[in-house]
Amino acid sequence: MKKGDFVFNIVRVPADFLMLVCGGIATYAIRTEILDQWRPVLFGPQLPLGRFFVLVLAVSALFVVVYAISGLYAMKLRMTVPQEISRVVVASSAAMMLVILAIFVRAEAFNSRFLVLGYWLMAIGAVVCGRLLMRAVYRRLTVRYDLGAHQVLLIGNDDVARRLAETMCQDLALGYRVVRVLDDPDPSAVAATISDPGVHEVILASPEYPAERIIQLVELCHEHHVIFKFVPNIYRTLTTHYDVDSIGRIPLIQLRRTALDGWGRVFKRVTDIAGSALALAVLAPVFGLVAFAIKWETEGPALVRLRRMSRSREFDLLKFRSMIDRAHELNGYLRSLGNDRRDGGPLWKMKDDPRITKVGRFIRKYRIDEFPQFWNVLRGDMSLVGPRPHQPDEIAKYERHHRRVLAIKAGATGMVQSSGASDMPFEEEVALDTFYIENWSWWLDMRIIGKTAVRLLSDRSAV
């Protein structure tokens, strides 16, 4: 999904709610200011504007919920204008039936039939107008300013590829900009194009592309976090994780690197903000005590900033300092003494690290040194749940399939941490993180957070 489409879908929720409220106020104004000249208002003081406004807010919220259930906010569904209008009419009618049912139960809610019928018609009209306006604005921003437009590498030399290129170039509002067309490239040529001039999507239209090179192409796109799409008459069963799209009359299938997409990203980010903000507020006294203890024992800052990678972007991971000041200067020497990990992977560990202080050993034992990561979560550098944050120098040693763990944000905890295995082989760690990426759900996050909380209270294997 293009970023512009993602933002557009999210903005439609508050926009619909605003238009529904405006429609309700307009209905009240028509009844009390215009129609009152021919037929006096009978509900008078029983339903003043203030009380009606509260009812409109509640009814508008109900309409938005029904819209969501009907699929009007579906991220993976691209509707034509007639389809969208018809769905708005059907969903609005269903929501109004629920309102009428409430009126039947509580007859005092509305004393005017016009307010009910008028709001239904005004709601449909206002929402349709609002959505048409948003479409026009989004189309104009895409055409004139390339808002949300994706740079595309097109692979193929047949009629389908030519039609795709022509459609993208002729209709700029589709949000695709073809930067290069390659007839029959090998993966190295694709990799060079992805890096220079840079692309957001790779679209495979050639039916003659060899199967083994398609797999290499998919892995290459995953490695560089590039969207991969193909014309569905090539390999329909390449994966079960896909989204259906179209350009003109040509259908496309987009391979998804992760189930975490669309509204899932929104829910996950909302959970991250709420959870990290709550944790920082509750743990504020602990932060003060730990910082004082660290400063009392040794010189140096209470917090350290460690360079880590999340979604192929470097950031500063915050942790309480558990080692002597400037401990990183001894990394080279200590690594030359050997690695306590025996799985042959790229990670390094020393069980009895002489740099750890007494306070550091305590806060590591109870995982207190990791609490400042909640600030990284609040900032958006990390998520509450996700793969382990990776060091840049370690990533340089990863094989291609290892880099799949960079497809989503790193997490303060994850399936590996919640499993309780502190010396898990690296390949098993990658397998668990890959499973999480491919099978993400909000409930899976909640289970992992719950298991992590139990581990914090019972497991002392961090040291």
Task: Report yes or no on 187 lying in a domain.
Answer: yes
Q: Is residue 449 part of a domain?
A: yes
Residues 79, 171, single domain; the answer is: no
Give the domain-ending residue among 110, 145, 180: 145
> Where is the domain boundary, 236, 255, 274?
255
**309 contacts 407 by C-beta, under 8 angstroms:** no
Residue 463 lies in a domain: no
Q: What is the number of other CB atoms lying within 10 angstroms of the CB of residue 384?
A: 25
pLDDT digits (tens, 9 = 90+) for 245-289: 667 667 677 766 666 777 788 889 989 999 999 999 999 999 999
Phi, psi of 365 (to 5 degrees): -60, -40
44 with 133, same domain?
Answer: yes
DSSP annotation of 386:
S
Name the DSSP letter for residue 195. Answer: I
What CATH number is given to the structural domain containing 196?
3.40.50.720
Domain finish residue from 238, 255, 272: 255
| DSSP secondary structure code for residue 323 in this structure | B
User: What are the CA-CA distances from residue 425 to residues 183, 340, 344, 385, 398 (Å)?
Assistant: 42, 12, 8, 20, 14
For 415-423, which contacts have Cβ atoms below 8 Å and span 24 or more sequence positions? 415/448, 416/387, 416/388, 417/388, 417/452, 417/455, 418/448, 418/451, 418/452, 418/455, 419/451, 420/455, 420/459, 420/461, 422/461, 422/462, 423/341, 423/349
User: What backbone torsions phi and psi does residue 302 show, to the nearest 5 degrees?
Assistant: -75, -30
Mean pLDDT of 43-65: 79
Q: For residue 181, what pLDDT is reported? A: 87
Residue 173 lies in a domain: yes
User: Do 214 and 270 fall within a single domain?
Assistant: no
Question: Of 10-19, 388-397, 414-423, 437-446, where does mean pLDDT reach its minimum?
Answer: 414-423
* 135 and 7 housed in the same domain: yes
The answer to whether 128 and 16 have CB atoms below 8 angstroms apart is no
Tens of pLDDT, residue by residue over 62-105, are 999 999 888 888 766 567 788 889 889 989 999 888 888 877 77
Are 148 and 5 within 8 A, CB to CB?
yes
Q: Are residues 35 and 55 in the same domain?
A: yes
* Mean pLDDT value of segment 122-147: 89
What is the structure's pLDDT at 109? 47
Mean pLDDT calculated for residue range 345-356: 65
Whether residues 245 and 100 fall in one domain:
no
Residues 23 and 54 in one domain: yes
For the ranges 135-139, 194-198, 282-286, 432-436, the maximum mean pLDDT occurs at 282-286
Task: Give the distance from CA 261 to its chain's centroid.
Answer: 5
Question: Are the beta carbons of 436 and 444 closer than 8 angstroms?
Answer: yes
Predicted confidence (pLDDT) per residue in 167-191, tens digit:
888 888 888 888 888 887 777 888 8
CB 139 within 8 A of CB 183: no
Instruction: Judge whether 220 and 169 are in contact, CB under 8 Å.
Output: no
Is 249 found in the same domain as 175?
yes
Same domain, yes or no: 112 and 213: no
Bridge partners of residue 411, in order along the sequence: 383
Which amino acid is it at 451? K
Q: Which domain holds residue 8?
A: 3-145
Give pLDDT, residue 333: 54
Q: What are phi and psi of 361, to 5 degrees?
A: -65, -35
- pLDDT at position 19: 94
Work out how many domains the chain is built from and give that number: 3
Residues 336 and 443 in one domain: yes
**Same-domain check for residues 300 and 240:** no
Comparing CA positions, the residue from 404, 426, 403, 429 lying closest to residue 416 is 429
Residues 269 and 391 in one domain: yes
Interacting residues of 352 by C-beta distance below 8 A, sequence separation 6+: none
Grouping H, G, I as helix, E, B as strand and the rest as coil, residue 255 is strand
**What kind and span of H or E run contains 378?**
helix 373-379
Q: CA 366 to CA 156: how far, in whole Å?
A: 56
Residue 463, pLDDT above cutoff 50: no
Arithmetic mean of pLDDT, 437-448: 86
Amino acid 238: pLDDT:
45
